[in-house]
């Protein structure tokens, strides 16, 4: 059984000061379980790492990384830079980056590989658009997104990472996938990974909040969540953490 995990993606919200404050509040109210990861903006990472020093219950991740390891790439951040700052996780293929930065499945696979080479655990985000769901091709879309990464790094490396199913139509829209819709995709992903994927953490993301979290977390193949908007306030996020702990 995969271990429960809750991740908070803070996107481009707040400042280094407010991010450090939010990190300490989350660490203060969250107990030892489940595993928690926060994803501040790049510039907020050092302050968040230092606000969390000595607290083992919350890990820090980055929202993106370069697929290059080093070189003349102005404005880019390498996996090694992130690892040195104290990050242990990184998001790859978030739908906002696929959409606004034209990140292809192949580029996401390169980033996934760069992350693992730097010792970071990638969280691979996959998910279909509204139109793709209307066309009933969501499973093909997700398969292509995952296959591109398997072709680059191999099945075992993908199973060693974390996968987040985030339907594009549910991210930041207030519209959540129903527990059945989410479970259907999660069980499909689990089956695609086969025996090696039994313990792979599969997260759901897309407008999770304190009102809908419990029903999502009771699904057999949903091991936790990747939370955006509802992770920006410590009490709200902790409420979701509690629901994951208490899930039936
Ligand atoms: P949301 O974002 O919870 O605000 O929909 C989720 C995400 O982008 O990971």
Q: How many angstroms separate the CA atoms of 123 and 180, rounded?
A: 23
Instruction: Tell me if 58 sits within 8 A of 37, measured CB to CB.
Output: yes
In this structure, the dihedral spanned by the alpha carbons of residues 159, 162, 168 and 172, taken in order and rounded to 10 degrees, is: 170
How far does residue 95's CA lie from ligand 1's centre (Å)?
A: 10
Q: What is the DSSP string of 86-105?
A: T--EEEES-HHHHHHS---H
Q: Model confidence at 32, in pLDDT bands (50, 70, 90)? A: low
Q: Give the phi and the psi of residue 222 in degrees, each rounded to 5.
A: -105, 110
Report the domain count for the chain: 1
Q: Summarize pLDDT for 149-191 with one digit per residue, the tens.
A: 999 999 999 999 999 999 999 999 999 999 999 999 999 999 9
Domain span at residue 188 reads 5-245
Q: Average pLDDT, stretch 65-94? A: 98
pLDDT at position 56 over 90: no
- 3-class SS at 122? strand
Q: How many angstroms separate the CA atoms of 153 and 166, rounded?
A: 22
Q: Model confidence at 31, in pLDDT bands (50, 70, 90)? A: low
Q: How many angstroms separate the CA atoms of 43 and 16, rounded?
A: 6
Check if 177 has its Cβ closer than 6 Å to any atom of ligand 1: no
Q: Whose CA is nearest to atom 1 of ligand 1?
A: 228
Check if 225 has its Cβ closer than 6 Å to any atom of ligand 1: no
pLDDT at position 140 over 90: yes
Query: Active site residue: 35, 103, 110, 166, which one?
Result: 166
**Domain at 177, CATH number:** 3.20.20.70
Check if 206 has its Cβ closer than 6 Å to any atom of ligand 1: yes
Q: Whose CA is nearest to atom 2 of ligand 1?
A: 228
Q: Which two tokens stand for residue 91?
A: 């998001």
Q: How many angstroms separate the CA atoms of 13 and 201, rounded?
A: 26
For the chain, give the mean pLDDT: 96
Task: Measure CA 199 to chain center.
Answer: 16
């Amino acid at each position: 059984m995969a271990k429960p995990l809750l991740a908070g993606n803070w996107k481009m919200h707040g400042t280094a000061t407010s991010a450090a404050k939010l990190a300490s509040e989350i660490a203060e109210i969250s107990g030892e379980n489940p595993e928690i990861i926060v994803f501040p903006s790049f510039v907020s990472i050092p302050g968040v790492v230092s606000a969390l020093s000595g607290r083992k219950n919350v890990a820090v991740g980055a929202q993106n990384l370069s697929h290059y390891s080093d070189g003349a790439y102005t404005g880019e951040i390498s996996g090694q830079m992130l690892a040195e700052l104290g990050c242990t996780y990184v998001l790859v293929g978030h739908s906002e980056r696929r959409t606004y930065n034209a990140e292809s499945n192949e580029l996401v696979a390169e980033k996934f590989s760069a992350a693992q080479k730097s010792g970071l655990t990638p969280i691979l985000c996959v998910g279909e658009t509204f139109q793709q769901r209307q066309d009933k091709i969501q499973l093909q879309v997700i398969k292509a997104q995952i296959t591109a990464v398997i072709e680059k790094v191999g099945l075992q490396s993908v199973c060693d990472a974390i996968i987040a199913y985030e339907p594009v139509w549910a991210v930041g829209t207030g519209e959540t996938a129903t527990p059945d819709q989410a479970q259907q995709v999660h069980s499909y992903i689990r089956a695609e990974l086969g025996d090696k994927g039994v313990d792979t953490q599969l997260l759901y993301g897309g407008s999770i909040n304190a009102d809908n979290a419990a029903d999502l977390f009771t699904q057999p193949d949903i091991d936790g969540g990747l939370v955006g908007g509802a992770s920006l306030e410590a009490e709200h996020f902790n409420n979701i953490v509690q629901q994951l702990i208490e899930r039936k």
